[in-house]
């Protein structure tokens, strides 16, 4: 049997295209609204990975013309202090999107903070109101990573309707909303997770296989149906015998590349799409202010 090499689903290239579209949209809307769109990212403590993510978001905002209202708080900041800041940002007419950078220090309740953000400014698309709209198939801000996955599938004209989709992972951040989005696109969806028996038997049936569990290289070539589309949402830092660290996904890319028809790289696949969808949500909230003012 001849070996194939999967085509790459290039999230970096698509994110750059979306950035260009958003830049154009903002330049058209700004004269009507009289200000640029605004995004506020709240970060608590000094987690180096979080700091890097926040810097990436700031750079992406600057690139498309979104004003950043980022706030960095010391580790010992209280729940009440953060809730007050969120309420102020809810009232701030310059701010269209608010998100709390996770993870937070252990003494803080991230869910309670998320509930403080008004649904119209929920840039992460994780507020119960927005998740409820997703369940009902209504218009609302969508969770960024799953929306980015759907955008990638659409960009590469990968048919979803009628296909068997398997999502490995059931988090509220990715697994559950992504399963709902695939269902909305008329896929037949199975959700697998840590308690699933015989995971391989389930993943082998997938036309579209999405790994979102945070376990390095959990999915290998033997678990993938020949010709399947494989989307790797995982970002895991692993250290080799020489002490060098690198990023890998939840999929063993090199072995799976010979079986799949399409595959996302890590990094450069889903990660850039998550940030692009965050900007998209912010601009959607911003353009909504035009509609409210007219």
Catalytic residue at 79?
A: no
Structure tokens that stand for 6 in this block: 């999967």
- Residue 178 — left, alpha, or beta (φ > 0 → left; ψ -120 to 50 → alpha)? alpha
- Catalytic residue from among 101, 116, 217, 280: 101
> In 65-198, which ranges are continuous DSSP H helix?
79-91, 110-116, 128-136, 144-155, 175-184
Does 96 participate in catalysis according to the annotation? no
Catalytic member of 57, 121, 163, 176: 57
Of 96, 124, 207, 252, catalytic: 124
Active site residue 57: yes
Binding-site positions for NADP(+)? 169-171, 235
Contacts of 247 (CB under 8 A, 6+ apart): 235, 236, 237, 238, 266, 267
Binding residues: 169-171, 235
Q: Where are the alpha helices (DSSP H) in 92-237?
A: 110-116, 128-136, 144-155, 175-184, 199-203
**Vertex 24: Cα angle to 20 and 28 (nearest 5):** 165
Q: Which residues have a catalytic role annotated?
A: 57, 101, 124
């Amino acid at each position: 049997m001849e070996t194939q090499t999967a085509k790459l689903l290039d999230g970096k290239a698509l994110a750059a295209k979306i950035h260009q579209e958003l830049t154009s949209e903002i330049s058209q809307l700004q004269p009507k609204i009289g200000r640029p769109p605004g995004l506020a990212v709240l970060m608590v403590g000094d987690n180096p990975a979080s700091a890097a993510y926040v810097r990436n978001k700031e750079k992406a905002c600057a690139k498309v013309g979104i004003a950043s209202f980022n706030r960095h708080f010391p580790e010992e900041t209280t729940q009440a202090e953060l809730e007050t800041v969120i309420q102020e940002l809810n009232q701030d007419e310059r701010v269209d999107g608010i998100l709390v950078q996770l993870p937070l220090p252990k003494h803080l309740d991230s869910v309670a903070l998320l509930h403080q953000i008004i649904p119209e400014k929920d840039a992460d698309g994780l507020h119960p109101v927005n998740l409820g709209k997703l369940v009902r198939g209504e218009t609302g801000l969508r969770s960024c990573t799953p929306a980015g996955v759907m955008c990638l599938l659409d960009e590469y004209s990968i048919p979803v309707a009628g296909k068997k989709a398997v999502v490995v992972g059931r988090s509220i951040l990715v697994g559950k909303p992504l399963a709902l989005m695939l269902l909305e696109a008329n896929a037949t969806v199975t959700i697998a997770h840590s308690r699933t028996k015989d995971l391989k038997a389930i993943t082998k049936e997938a036309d579209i296989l999405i790994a979102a569990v945070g376990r390095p290289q959990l999915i290998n070539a033997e678990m993938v149906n020949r010709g399947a589309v494989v989307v790797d949402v995982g970002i895991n830092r692993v250290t080799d015998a020489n002490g060098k660290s690198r990023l890998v996904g939840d999929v063993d890319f090199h072995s799976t590349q010979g079986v799949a028809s399409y595959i996302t790289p890590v990094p450069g696949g889903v990660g850039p799409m998550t940030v692009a969808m965050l900007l998209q949500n912010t601009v959607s909230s911003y353009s909504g202010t035009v509609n409210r003012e007219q």
